């Protein structure tokens, strides 16, 4: 009887994937724009490379795929999300919207594009970390209110993990612009390697949470 019980315990543990849930490597695609792609930086200094190193240092069995396209909008992300989620991808970081803001795109259109991405991930059984974006005030209070509400609304609606801001990790929620300069490239928009390191430190725990949700699909 003891041998039978031991076998049952082993069998159940194997089904559950061990104490931490599903066992095995997890692949996560980072769907984004130039901030994800690593614009202006050596290959090893970009967001995906630094986040991969951060995860490796913590023993996470995660492989990150760089699905960032410089200049991409949420419409571009919606158009390519299907082929970004290749069979091995179990998790998706969605970090899009900055270029929508630069172009003054209607927040309703941005919302619809992001919803297309989240629906596709939901249908594919892919876990999502949605990274928010905050609109500047120069488009007016109504535009800002409509845009800023998109990300928390959709995260709640689709049950995704949520991070308030990609760049917020550089200098906090209300940074003095002068404090940001040491962490930005010369264009004053894209983070340098030091800035990326701060972003990774802020988002890293969320990515670990995503890895926990993302079942291996190999």
CA–CA dist 60, 213 (Å, integer):
13
Question: How many Å is the maximal CA-CA distance in the chain?
Answer: 73
Q: Do residues 133 and 98 lie in contact, with contact meaning Cβ atoms separated by under 8 Å? A: yes
Are 67 and 36 in contact by the 8 Å Cβ rule? The answer is yes
Report the alpha-carbon distance of residue 147 to residue 131 in Å, rounded: 13
Q: Give the Cα separation of 143 and 83 in Å (integer).
A: 32
Q: What's the CA gap between 208 and 218, in Å, rounded?
A: 19
Q: Which tokens belong to 46?
A: 């970009």
**32: helix, strand or coil:** strand
Q: Are 66 and 36 in contact (CB under 8 A)?
A: yes
**Residues classed as catalytic:** 34, 187, 190
d(CA 84, CA 92): 9
How many CB atoms are located within 10 Å of the residue 61 CB?
A: 12
Residue 167 DSSP code: T
Alpha carbon 173 to chain centroid distance?
A: 18
């Amino acid at each position: 009887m003891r041998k039978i019980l031991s076998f049952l315990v082993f069998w159940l543990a194997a089904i559950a994937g061990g104490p931490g849930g599903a066992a095995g490597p997890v692949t996560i695609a980072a769907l984004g724009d130039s901030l994800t792609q690593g614009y202006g930086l050596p290959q090893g200094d970009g967001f995906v490379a630094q986040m991969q190193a951060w995860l490796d240092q913590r023993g996470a069995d995660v492989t990150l795929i760089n699905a960032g396209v410089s200049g991409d909008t949420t419409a571009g992300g919606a158009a390519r999300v299907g082929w970004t989620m290749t069979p091995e991808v179990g998790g998706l970081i969605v970090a899009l919207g900055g270029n929508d803001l630069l172009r003054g795109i209607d927040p309703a259109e941005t919302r619809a594009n992001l919803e297309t991405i989240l629906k596709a991930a939901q249908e594919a059984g892919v876990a999502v970390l949605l990274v928010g974006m905050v609109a500047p005030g120069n488009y007016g209070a109504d535009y800002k209110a409509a845009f800023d509400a998109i990300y928390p609304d959709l995260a709640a609606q689709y049950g995704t993990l949520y991070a308030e801001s990609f760049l917020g990790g550089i200098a906090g929620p209300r940074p003095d612009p002068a404090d940001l300069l040491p962490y930005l490239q010369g264009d004053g928009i894209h983070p340098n390697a030091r800035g990326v390191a701060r972003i990774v430190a802020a988002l890293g725990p969320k990515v670990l949470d995503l890895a926990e949700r993302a079942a291996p699909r190999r």
